[in-house]
Structure formats: C-alpha cells, structure tokens
Amino acid sequence: MLTKGDDFPIHQTPEPIAYTGAARNFYDRYFFNGYHLEEDIFFAAALGVYPYVNVMDAAFNLIIEGVQHNVLASRALNMERMDTEVGPVKVTVLEPLKVLRLEVNAPEQGITADLTFTGRVPAQEEPRFTRRVGTQLVMDSTRLTQNGSWVGWIEHKGRRIEVGAERWLGTRDRSWGVRSVGLADQQPNPMAPTEPQFFWLWAPINWPDAATFYHLNDDELGRPWNTHGVFVPLGEEGDAMGAVASDLTYIPGTRHAAKAVLHFEGRRGGHSEIVMTPRFHWYMKGVGYGHPEFNHGSYHGEFEQTYEEYALADVDDAANLHIQAICDVSMSGDLGERHGRGVLEQLIVGRHEPSGFEGMMDMAK
C-alpha cells in the first residue's frame, strides 16, 4: 500500500514506508519539554507512531501554579505516518534537525498553545540502545537529543502566557526502533529475571553559552551498559567526554534524587562537575510512560482522548518512579564556571547495588 511517505526519498527497505520491515514493537517518537528560566512553569509533549499495531498517540502536559494538567489522545494510524496530528496535538517539522512547531487545541480542558522550538546547538546522536534478555531483543533504538529555545504562546483557562526565546528553553528528542509497545507479550520470556530491573538517568542542561548532555543505563550491579556525556558550546559541534559518572543523594522514602553530581572527564584530560538541585517534579505518566490506560501504543479504536490534573504536592513519589526533576544547575572545573537550568529524568526499578536498593520497590532510607 502506498502512502504519503513514499513520495520522499527516505526508504530503508524495498517495502513501502507503511511497512516498517521490523518487529511488532517498532516505534517512532517525538518528545519535547520547555521551562521558564525564573518561574516554575513547565510543559512537555510527545507524539508516537507504532506502525505494526496501527496506532498514533500524543499528549501535552502543563505545570502551572503547582498543578500538572495532562491531555492524552490516541487514534488509529491507518498507515499514514506523515500525518503527525492526534486530536488536539500536532507536530510539524519546519526545518529538519533545527525548527519544529507544536500546536495544542484542547479548549474543553482550557489548554491551547502554538509553540516553535529552535535548536540552540546541533542535534546530538546518542550511542545506540541495544538490550537483550536471553534471545529476546527488548530494546534496540537510536535517539537524537537537542537543546533549544521556544517562542509562541500558551493559554490556560483564560490566562495567556507569552513564550519568548530569552526566558523559555528546553529539550527535544527523537527516537525510533524497538521497545515495549502496547500490550505485553502473553507468553513470558523464560530468561527474564523474576523481578524487573532498569536504571535510567538523563540530564540535558541549558547553559547561557553552551549545552551539556548526559545519560546512564546501569545494570543491577551498577555496571553501565549505555552511558554518554557531551559538552557543546553554542555555535560549535561539541566534544564527547572520555568518561562520565554520577552520584545521587536520594530523598528518603523515594527513588528520586535530592541532589545529583555529574562528573565529566575530558578525552584530553580535565575534570568538571555539574551539580543538579531539583525544584519540582514532572510525572511522565502524563505523556504515557507507564500510564494505566494510555500507555504507549495502546489501542483505543479510531480516536479516544482523556484529561487529568493533580496537585504536585499530593503525588506519592514512591508510587510514581518515572519523573523529570526540573533543576537549578551549576558547573565548576576545567570546562568553566556557569549556572543554568535543566532536567534530570529518573526511572529506577528493581535492584541497584550502588544505590542500596536490594528489592524491586524498596526506597531510600
């Protein structure tokens, strides 16, 4: 079957674009966040394409006055992967790898927006994420990350928020490949551990004159199976670090950081430290991660939409593990002294010996 994508020179297999040539769990996804540099206002959005299960879903979240507002929607893909619009959320690529537009039209929930992201630094390709459990490939994906600025506006229940590049920064990513989509496999993997384990940190940071990127996947013993760090001055290509590491101090009764210290070692010597101090948390189930009904790639028929809101102060952090902490950040050492803002994404499930976590859900003392 031919679709709109077939008129673009982007084929990777002899098949039409509608057929991925890959596994049932193939996905293709946009993610965005944005934050004010002085006020505690934050937004996030995502749009995912799941060709094999015929689903496209999207979401927009807004945190304002200590309340998180979530709009989530899902529709049948009907094989047209180029139509990146799901109900109230639309993503448009204006200039590939540089400028993208995000539109939100959910007046019944009191949320509308028209926002344009422009990269401050080049998009960064991260090391490929590949993970097997026995013979089963559970993750195999490529991701790019880019820090940028936002312009446009957000309207929330009659209040209009003007968004300008000097005060509104953020991060976007694009990832594609194989990971969990929709319903779990009915037949369990006999090689899977009795308790799941996943340790993930991601820290994209905006500085006045630069950007830094850091991520870490650890196994249960604290051995990294995917980690990377990059320092990118504005107007330059960036420099990958020779070695990176992180130290977390946890909030008692949770698996979330009260403080994180990132260590960057240059390939030609030199050491820098980045201290991240969280201001508040955004709960990522708002764009589908671990959502009980609108998880990524779940099928809801031709179209379905839902809305949620909750006060951040009322959320149980011990039961909501996947977060982004919006952080004040400072850097010292050989890369220079500077202050900025960024996010520290955290998802820590199961055993992690360096953190003192022995069971699937025991919390920091």
DSSP SS3 for 67? strand
d(CA 336, CA 182): 45
pTM above 0.75, yes or no: yes
pLDDT tens-digit map of 88-121 = 999 999 999 999 999 999 999 999 999 999 999 9
Q: Which amino acid is at 176?
A: W
Of 28, 42, 29, 37, residue with least CA distance to 324: 42
With 90 as the cut, is the pLDDT of residue 304 above it? yes
d(CA 299, CA 75): 8
For Cα atoms 365, 330, 220, give the angle at the middle one, nearest 5 degrees: 40
* Cβ–Cβ < 8 Å for 177, 141: yes
With 90 as the cut, is the pLDDT of residue 186 above it? no
Q: Is 10 exposed, middle or buried (0-12, 13-18, 19+ CB in 10 A)?
A: exposed
pLDDT class of 10 with cuts at 50, 70, 90: confident
The two counts, helices (H) then strands (E), for the chain are 0, 24
CA 81 to chain centroid: 21
Q: Give 14 or 261, the one with higher predicted confidence.
A: 261
Which stretches does DSSP call E strand in 83-195? 85-86, 89-95, 99-106, 111-119, 124-125, 129-133, 136-156, 159-163, 168-178
pLDDT tens-digit map of 34-56 = 999 999 999 999 999 999 999 99
Tokens at 141, concatenated: 């994906």
Residue-range domains of the chain with CATH: 4-355 (2.40.370.10)
